[in-house]
């Protein structure tokens, strides 16, 4: 019994340390508050740290939501107050963003609602800031900045139907199912449709499933797209590797990441199974969904074990993404935790806890020195920094009190 309790206690101490760090590196300047974040080039290289990024993905909105979650979880009023203060400032700055989820206004609005639900109070008085969607079609279908991301946000039934229509019209159909290539891409490889959560079919599937669960009248149309999108993504599965490919390169790699690979794909399959268990009927073959979810969980567990073993053998590249959600081991850990939650398999929780503690021990005492998946450390954001890592660790320590960070807090 003691062996099962020790990782949980270690994780609770880790969560406290991460929470202290997030509170300590926040800046406060009059009415403004937030965190420094890396400014990235077009190919994702960090150039300098700056204040004022309001986004959910790697800016203040995501980190504020993390602080609200940790503040309520740990009973820390300082973190709750910080989250509310940052969110009030962030909402005004978000007015100039595009409409998308991870990189746009919809994500800031979602973070604000998450914080308000957690704390039971408004983050700010109405500032006349429109964080919604005006109906203008985004440039893509994906979760990050496109139509799928809007559906995960707080759309009305009429807006959701408009977004659904956009996905129906932009889907490329064929004998292998539906997919969504990037429109007007500079070259065919960059514009090809993808597997995965951030920019691929799994992101569209997740958004459609949440829409079907929220608006019953849209479920039949959403279900048809989901079935065809899953069929297309399933056709790319490599049974030898036991994973799905990242189609952005030739030859493709087969990662187990949140953004491209088994972690994001597995998180969506587990969510579809959970929704089916709650009564949502999408005409999906549950045996196939379960098999894919089990394969994704296996891939995530394997990459975690391999990464720890390689890092212990003095290979720092094994932990290049640290515990971050997007580029690191936070995504695979969250899949194990979701599998435990859905299937009530204690071995999944035990494995996630032991792996999380082992990785954190290898990364060192100072969370700001942990890798971010970028060629620099020091980020505090939800997907590229300490914020997401802290939330995954909190879910491992308190699995019944934290929703899935990989799916933006869904419980």
**Tell me, what's the pLDDT at 367?**
95
Q: Which of 384, 407, 380 is nearest to 70 (CA)?
A: 380
pLDDT at 119 over 70: yes
pLDDT for the residue 132: 82
pLDDT of residue 154: 86
The confidence score (pLDDT) of residue 376 equals 86
pLDDT classification of 182: cutoffs 50, 70, 90 = confident
Tokens representing 262 are 């088994």
Q: Residue 174's pLDDT is what?
A: 86
What per-residue string of b and e applies to 29-50 under the rule 16 or more CB within 10 Å gives b? eeebbbbbbbeeeeeeebeeee
**Model confidence, pTM:** 0.95
What gap in Å lies between CA 373 and CA 380, rounded to an integer?
A: 12
Average pLDDT of the residues of the chain: 93
pLDDT attached to residue 186: 59
pLDDT digits (tens, 9 = 90+) for 249-275: 899 999 999 999 999 999 999 999 999
Residue 184 CB burial class (10 angstroms; 0-12, 13-18, ≥19): exposed
pLDDT at 129: 65
390, 389, 385: which is closest to 374 by C-alpha? 385
**So what's the pLDDT on residue 43?**
80
Q: What is the pLDDT of residue 185?
A: 60
pLDDT in tens, 288-319: 999 999 999 999 999 999 999 999 998 888 99
Q: Distance (Å, rounded) from C-alpha 172 to C-alpha 328?
A: 31
Provide the pLDDT confidence category of residue 149 given band limits of 50, 70 and 90.
very high
């Amino acid at each position: 019994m003691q062996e099962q309790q020790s990782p949980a206690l270690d994780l609770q101490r880790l969560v406290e340390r991460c929470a202290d760090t997030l509170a300590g590196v926040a800046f406060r300047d009059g009415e403004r508050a937030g965190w420094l974040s890396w400014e990235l080039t077009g190919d994702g290289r960090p150039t300098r740290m700056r204040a004022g990024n309001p986004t959910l993905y790697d800016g203040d909105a995501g980190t504020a939501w993390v602080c609200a979650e940790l503040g309520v979880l740990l009973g820390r009023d300082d973190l709750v107050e910080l989250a509310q203060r940052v969110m009030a400032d962030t909402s005004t700055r978000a007015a100039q963003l595009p409409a998308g989820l991870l990189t746009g206004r919809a994500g800031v609005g979602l973070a604000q609602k998450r914080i308000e639900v957690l704390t039971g109070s408004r983050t700010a008085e109405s500032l006349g800031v429109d964080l919604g969607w005006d109906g203008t079609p985004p440039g893509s279908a994906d979760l990050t900045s496109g139509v799928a991301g809007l559906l995960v946000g707080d759309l009305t039934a009429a807006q959701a139907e408009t977004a659904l229509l956009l996905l129906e019209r932009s889907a490329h159909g064929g004998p292998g199912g539906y997919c969504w290539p990037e429109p007007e891409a500079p070259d065919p490889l960059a514009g090809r449709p993808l597997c995965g959560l951030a920019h691929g079919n799994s992101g569209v599937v997740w958004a459609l499933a949440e829409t079907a669960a929220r608006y019953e009248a849209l479920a039949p149309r959403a279900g048809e797209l989901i079935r065809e999108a899953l069929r297309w993504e399933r056709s790319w599965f490599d049974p030898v590797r036991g994973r799905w490919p990242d189609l952005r390169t030739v030859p493709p790699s087969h990662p187990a990441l949140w953004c491209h690979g088994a972690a994001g794909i597995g998180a969506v399959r587990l969510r579809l199974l959970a929704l089916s268990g709650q009564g949502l009927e999408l005409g999906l073959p549950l045996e196939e969904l379960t098999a894919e979810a089990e394969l994704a969980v296996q891939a995530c567990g394997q990459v975690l074990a391999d990464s720890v073993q390689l890092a212990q053998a003095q290979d720092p590249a094994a932990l290049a993404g640290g515990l971050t959600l997007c580029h690191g081991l936070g995504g695979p850990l969250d899949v194990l935790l979701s599998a435990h939650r859905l299937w009530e398999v204690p071995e999944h929780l035990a494995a996630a806890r032991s792996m999380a503690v082992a990785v954190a021990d290898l990364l060192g005492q100072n969370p700001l020195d942990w890798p971010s998946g970028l060629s620099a450390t020091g980020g505090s954001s939800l997907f590229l920094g300490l914020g997401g890592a802290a939330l995954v660790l909190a879910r491992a320590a308190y699995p019944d009190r934290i929703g899935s960070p990989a799916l933006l807090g869904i419980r």
